[in-house]
Structure 1
Amino acid sequence: MSPGTYTLLLSRSAPATIAFGAAGERRLDRGWYAYTGSAFGPGGLSRVERHRRVASGEHDVRHWHVDYLTGDPGTRLDAVFVTEDADRECDVARALADAGEPVPGLGASDCDCGTHVAYAAERETLAAVASEEHESVR
């Protein structure tokens, strides 16, 4: 599968405190979360399928910060936005954080960004930006 950048759009039906491994606990409100990542290693964007398996409960290994969010029973994967063959991870993450509210310290341990996770109370706040920033929805 080709490499690229992706954004997971996630919903939470209730607030919760989630432990994000070494990043510590975060209190997350009910609402919508967007996580932006990149997949340029072996397998490329097949990484998105791994995120789907974690979200569905089929895979319980927690490797990245987002795994703790997608693997929480109160989180639902709503949509995946994808841009193939382009590393836009930090640009997209910043645009989403500017549109919503950044969730500090998550998903950005390999760059200088403060976060790659954004929050908004309404779906459209994040979905509109993700749609503008990416080529397709899967």
Structure 2
Amino acid sequence: MPPDPLFHDRPDTLPPGPGAYVLLIALDRDLPLRLPGKPERVLAPGRYLYCGSARGPGGLRARVGRHFRHGKPERWHIDRLTAAGRMLGAWIVPGGDECALVATLSGLPVPVPGFGSSDCRRCASHLLAWPNGVPMSLPDPCF
């Protein structure tokens, strides 16, 4: 089977235009998380998907590339997860919308309500757990 052209496991292959993305992050150990005004949650070891958007300068290459970097300052919720886990790659959707990606993946569990979606009124969270054995499906209309 040929590789998925929309999945990137390194930042230098990403396009510079705007769009949305789904990060694939693996945690090897528990990660306690506290969001402002919310009780502490602990993310268990496993695979997580984070849906985000890249609309600023440098587009997908700059934003997703930042998620691949180590030692960056913590600016967003997802920075805690990428610092503690392993960035395995990202699916990109040029011109896409992060909330549409969350809706497409809505059958997956929400481990931390409000994570990455504090400015979003549509989504319970932009972070989803991807349990082993559950197939990943982003249907063609997302792309």
Q: TM-score with structure 1 length normalisation?
A: 0.78
In 2, are the aligned partners of 1:8 and 1:79 still within 8 Å (CA)? yes
Give the unaligned 5+ runs of structure 2.
1-15
Partner Cα separation in structure 1 for residue 82 and residue 98 of structure 2: 18
Structure possessing the higher radius of gyration over alpha carbons: 2
Match of 1:81 among 81, 87, 91: 91
Tell me whether 1:18 sits opposite 2:30 in the alignment. no
1:129 is aligned to 137
Q: Which runs of 4 or more aligned residues in structure 1 lie more than 4 Å from their structure 2 counterparts after TM superposition?
A: 130-135
Tell me whether 1:70 sits opposite 2:82 in the alignment. yes
Partner Cα separation in structure 1 for residue 75 and residue 99 of structure 2: 20
Deviations 1:33-72 (A, max 9, x none): 000000112221121111100xxx2x33011110011111
Tell me whether 1:51 sits opposite 2:67 in the alignment. yes
In 2, are the aligned partners of 1:100 and 1:119 still within 8 Å (CA)? yes
Q: 1:39 to 1:118 in 2, by over 3 A?
A: same
% identical equivalent positions:
33
- CA positional deviation for 1:31: 1.0
Partner Cα separation in structure 1 for residue 58 and residue 138 of structure 2: 23
Q: Flag the structure with higher helix content.
A: 1
Give the unaligned 5+ runs of structure 1.
none
Matched residues, number? 124
Q: Flag the structure with higher strand content.
A: 1
RMSD: 2.2
